[in-house]
Structure 1
Amino acid sequence: MSTPTVRIRGIYTTALTKLLLEKNWKVSQMSDVMEERFGVKSPKDPADIDIRQNRENGLIAIGEKKDLEMLEEVLKEEFLDIFFKMEDIQLYGIYKGKILEKKGKKTIVDIKDGRGLCYEEIKDESLVQVFDINKRPVLKTKITFPGKNIVLLPNKTVKISRKIKDPEERERLYEIGKKHLRNLGILFRSSAVGKETELIREIKELYEEAEKILSSSELFSAPSLIRKGKRALKINFGWDSKKKMDTIRNEVIPTMKNHHIYKNSMRLSAAIDLGENLMKEGMDRDLIEKNFREVFRSCMGEYIEIEHIKTYPISLGEAEILEMSDSKLVLKRKFLGTGYYDGLNIKKEFRDYGITEIEEGKWYFTHRYYTKNNELKGIYYNICTPVEIYPDKIRYFDLEIDVIEDTEGNRRIIDRDKLEKAVEDGRINEKLGKKAIEVAESLVR
């Protein structure tokens, strides 16, 4: 079976390009920097899968479902704490949507494959297109018709991809577009370079399809899918996977410790770039890493947010930083006295507090809960991916299973059934599920 071609953009590009090239995948439309870095000339044709960085510290891969499933299998083999979610809603898909609810300026719309948000004025039943799918699908009423080499636009104009730099080629494509322009605009993609007959045929076919859909939109039932888009596979990496990508990238170009963690931080990204540029010039790695740690500490305040991720990130609020070293972080949280402590079945009381100890690379961290009089109430071992520490937050993926300890030192495993359900549902992969069980069992021996 032939492998799909991929186009990769974002902070994971070098590591993923190396990984996929070594598995004989084709990487297309590589940037000049990547072509120089790998010593190759990449094809310029459209890729089967477009991999780009999303706003959630991970990736989103766009393509046909069968191709995305192949990508998922490859990455699942390579990385342990990696998480996937295949979206049912199709990016760039055209739907006949039906309003479910209006909330201020946003409208919740049923589009058959799920629900989307529209920030425009729309009728009870309207033709909409999925424009963005990062967190929640965003819908627009100005419809585009993407093709292989061109995209039809809602406004009557001719546009050329900014990636096409040659002035003569831009002028040539502009003339083709101007000659065949009708009621919808034409955008030439970077893959249009050097083509003519194929472009003219594609323009004609897309115009015919667009006219058919737009002129008969009232005939479609709602909710329904009118024109297929692309499937989206969301990919998130934990600490262990990011460390492995650091190793892969370092085989290509000098890479600082925790590169793929800190490049996700606006406060640290520039410092990482500077440090790696100095490495290329031959400066001592240990000295650079030492100076970076000082920069890191200077970016931290007295409090830090706790980002707890299951199916989506949940903020557990801020904690006071009591102690910090290169490999350990100690935090303190105060409680208002409502509810119960997870798993311990002990009531929270006014002015209780918790001490959290985190060690780099460990697959769990420890919560110790105390009364206002400093009496221990119980201990909770949160089993998770190793914690990523940023200047403004800590971040980890919860692995469902945990261990609790009473005041007499008795430990037991809880929520094994929740982990088994998460593995069964595909939210946690089997290898990672086994790792979580191993960690839990090691804590009760």
Structure 2
Amino acid sequence: MTVSVRGIYATALTELLAEVGVTNASAPIRERFDRDFSTGPAAAHVSTTSDRQGVGVTGDPDTVGSVVERLREVGADTFRYRDRAPRGAVFEGRVEETRSGGAVVDLGETDGYLPFEESQEYVEEGDTVRVQVVAPKPPWVSRRPRLSTDIRAFGDAATLVRGRDALVADTPNGAPELARTTEILPPDVPADWAVAWEDAAADLSMDALGDALAAAVEAAESLEGALGGGVDVDDVPARIAAPDATTWVWFGGDARRALDDVRRNVTETIAGHHRIKAGSSAASTAVDFAEALGSLPDEFPFAAVSEQFGPAAGDRVAIEHGKPDGRLITLGRGDVTDCDRDAARITVEREMTAGGTYDALDVERQAGDVAVTRFQEGRWWYPTVYRGEDGTRRGTYINVNTPLELFPSSVRYVDLHLDVVKHADGTVEQVDADELQECVEDGLVTEDVAETATDVADRIENAFS
């Protein structure tokens, strides 16, 4: 059981997953660790999500489960989400609608997006189409998983593509010799399948290439067997095969600090290393430069990070309100009216639109209302004061959440449902405690996190009463 690891969390996760076994380590990882790494097919792959907020773990279901359980122990605000459309899963789907560039396909428990360029046939609304998930998406992004009508047996170094005449379908840039090498490798590629060599293949030995191809051939033969039968039209949409599992792991502020500690056991690591890198690609590059220079601060340098990358007074930030089930709701964007860098705190002001009521305050939302919110890095709660156009306080809403992270263009956290409200008449009450308990019962929130949230809400209620 081995895994490959890539992305901004690679050093910490390579150390954390040492007992699982890390293979095909990148050059920087090999230089950083005083140990030997194996090469060859990995049972699972860990890669940083495109927004740098967490990782995706894909591969053999048992290995994925073991890796995810280890990652979940990292910090209190580590959340995991099993993907209902994992990479490599094959569905008999139904086209829900077509758009200018592709079609939305109903897969049953979820849906996906089939770009027309990935479809071998013309599709229109109501059609049944066999598709495979080629690029799953974490639940906190708005995009659907990308589909294709091409069928692949995925591997880390070698992928087999069904329905091709040639022996080799693709090779990495700079490694055309792999096409010739394929002809002398011992595994026989099944008829009607072709090899697409991945980037990881470029650095492998002949033995490792043979092992990678053998693993891909085995996966293709297994997949071919699963695809043999048809699906009754009344059963569409239906999942036909799911050789791999995909689980998404979201890291919060506490988890990123814990990963800093793990990384520090391996190499010099600035306080807030993963927190800064998660903020933006420019900030990520700056972290590498600072660590190369040495003389690192002992505490997270919020003031310096905010000054160089934001947020700062005059900026606009989105309030990214995560939910325990993985969904992400943007509560809107607001203007940063004040940034106290010493306190790691910003004040955000939003002008509200008329219509509806303020949640739990039972006060109508009117034109001209203003919401003033204070966010402080690392805090398990934040207050929002709603005022009318004439300045009258209409109520205060205190959200209880995982530790806040103030990124350059957004404030990020996972909402824990439990909140405290203070009405205009001074009455203070807790709300939605039952929803938090339901999340615990559903396995979305741990008992420890729920206990912390309850303690935070109790202290806030006492302070405001």
* TM-score, reference length from structure 1: 0.86
Report if aligned partners of 1:169, 1:193 keep a CA contact under 8 Å in 2.
Answer: no
**Aligned-residue offset at 1:398:** 0.8
Supply the AA of the counterpart residue of 1:237: F
Cross-structure match for 2:346: 329
Structure 1 residue 158 corresponds to structure 2 residue 153: no
**Cα distance change of structure 1 residues 205 and 10 upon mapping to structure 2, 3 Å threshold:** closer
Tell me, in whole angstroms, the C-alpha distance in 1 between the residues paired with 2:455 and 2:36: 45
Which of 72, 75, 78 is the equivalent residue of 1:76? 72
Give the secondary-structure state (helix, strand or coil) at the position aligned to 1:395: strand
- Superposition RMSD on alpha carbons, in Å? 3.4
Cross-structure match for 2:102: 106
> What is the 5 A alignment of 1:47-62?
47-56=42-51, 57-62=53-58
**Cα distance change of structure 1 residues 405 and 224 upon mapping to structure 2, 3 Å threshold:** closer
**Cα distance change of structure 1 residues 122 and 300 upon mapping to structure 2, 3 Å threshold:** farther
Cross-structure match for 1:364: 381
**Aligned-residue offset at 1:352:** 1.4
Tell me, in whole angstroms, the C-alpha distance in 2 between the residues paired with 1:270 and 1:196: 33
Give the secondary-structure state (helix, strand or coil) at the position aligned to 2:460: helix
Supply the AA of the counterpart residue of 2:45: D
Cross-structure match for 2:330: 315
Cross-structure match for 2:123: 122
Give the secondary-structure state (helix, strand or coil) at the position aligned to 1:439: helix
Report if aligned partners of 1:384, 1:396 keep a CA contact under 8 Å in 2.
Answer: yes
Q: Any idea what the Cα deviations from partners look like across 1:54-76, whole Å, max 9, x if unmatched?
A: 13421111123333333333233
Cross-structure match for 1:19: 16
Which 10-residue stretch deviates more, 213-222 or 123-132? 213-222
Cross-structure match for 1:173: 182
Which 10-residue stretch deviates more, 400-409 or 172-181? 172-181
Q: Any idea what the Cα deviations from partners look like across 1:86-141, whole Å, max 9, x if unmatched?
A: 12223112233233333444323233454222122337223211111114222101
**Aligned-residue offset at 1:353:** 0.9
Number of residues paired by the alignment? 436
**Aligned-residue offset at 1:380:** 0.9
Supply the AA of the counterpart residue of 2:269: T
Report if aligned partners of 1:92, 1:131 keep a CA contact under 8 Å in 2.
Answer: yes
Which of 126, 145, 154 is the equivalent residue of 1:146? 154
Tell me, in whole angstroms, the C-alpha distance in 1 between the residues paired with 2:149 and 2:83: 21
**Cα distance change of structure 1 residues 325 and 98 upon mapping to structure 2, 3 Å threshold:** same
Cross-structure match for 2:417: 400
Structure 1 residue 387 corresponds to structure 2 residue 404: yes
Which of 410, 431, 434 is the equivalent residue of 1:414? 431
Q: Any idea what the Cα deviations from partners look like across 1:185-228, whole Å, max 9, x if unmatched?
A: 21346377316886787687677667777787689974333333
Report if aligned partners of 1:399, 1:436 keep a CA contact under 8 Å in 2.
Answer: yes
Cross-structure match for 1:132: 135
Give the secondary-structure state (helix, strand or coil) at the position aligned to 2:62: helix
Cross-structure match for 2:32: 37
Tell me, in whole angstroms, the C-alpha distance in 2 between the residues paired with 1:88 and 1:58: 18
Give the secondary-structure state (helix, strand or coil) at the position aligned to 2:254: helix
Give the secondary-structure state (helix, strand or coil) at the position aligned to 1:45: coil
Supply the AA of the counterpart residue of 2:149: T
Report if aligned partners of 1:28, 1:42 keep a CA contact under 8 Å in 2.
Answer: yes
Structure 1 residue 266 corresponds to structure 2 residue 268: no
Report if aligned partners of 1:58, 1:235 keep a CA contact under 8 Å in 2.
Answer: yes
Q: Any idea what the Cα deviations from partners look like across 1:215-247, whole Å, max 9, x if unmatched?
A: 876899743333333111111011111122122
Report if aligned partners of 1:378, 1:406 keep a CA contact under 8 Å in 2.
Answer: yes
**Aligned-residue offset at 1:176:** 3.8
Tell me, in whole angstroms, the C-alpha distance in 1 between the residues paired with 2:187 and 2:310: 57
Tell me, in whole angstroms, the C-alpha distance in 1 between the residues paired with 2:403 and 2:187: 56
Tell me, in whole angstroms, the C-alpha distance in 2 between the residues paired with 1:254 and 1:245: 13
Supply the AA of the counterpart residue of 1:306: I
Which 10-residue stretch deviates more, 179-188 or 56-65? 179-188
Cross-structure match for 1:64: 60
Structure 1 residue 9 corresponds to structure 2 residue 6: yes
Supply the AA of the counterpart residue of 2:196: L
Give the secondary-structure state (helix, strand or coil) at the position aligned to 1:33: helix
Give the secondary-structure state (helix, strand or coil) at the position aligned to 1:26: coil
Tell me, in whole angstroms, the C-alpha distance in 1 between the residues paired with 2:293 and 2:300: 8
Give the secondary-structure state (helix, strand or coil) at the position aligned to 2:390: coil
**Cα distance change of structure 1 residues 214 and 347 upon mapping to structure 2, 3 Å threshold:** closer
Tell me, in whole angstroms, the C-alpha distance in 1 between the residues paired with 2:182 and 2:444: 46
Tell me, in whole angstroms, the C-alpha distance in 2 between the residues paired with 1:376 and 1:198: 68
Report if aligned partners of 1:7, 1:47 keep a CA contact under 8 Å in 2.
Answer: yes
**Aligned-residue offset at 1:171:** 4.7
Tell me, in whole angstroms, the C-alpha distance in 1 between the residues paired with 2:299 and 2:435: 45
**Aligned-residue offset at 1:317:** 1.7
Report if aligned partners of 1:301, 1:391 keep a CA contact under 8 Å in 2.
Answer: no
**Aligned-residue offset at 1:410:** 3.3
Give the secondary-structure state (helix, strand or coil) at the position aligned to 2:73: helix
Supply the AA of the counterpart residue of 2:329: I
Give the secondary-structure state (helix, strand or coil) at the position aligned to 1:323: strand
The answer for unaligned runs of 5 or more in structure 2 is: 117-121, 139-143
**Aligned-residue offset at 1:348:** 1.6
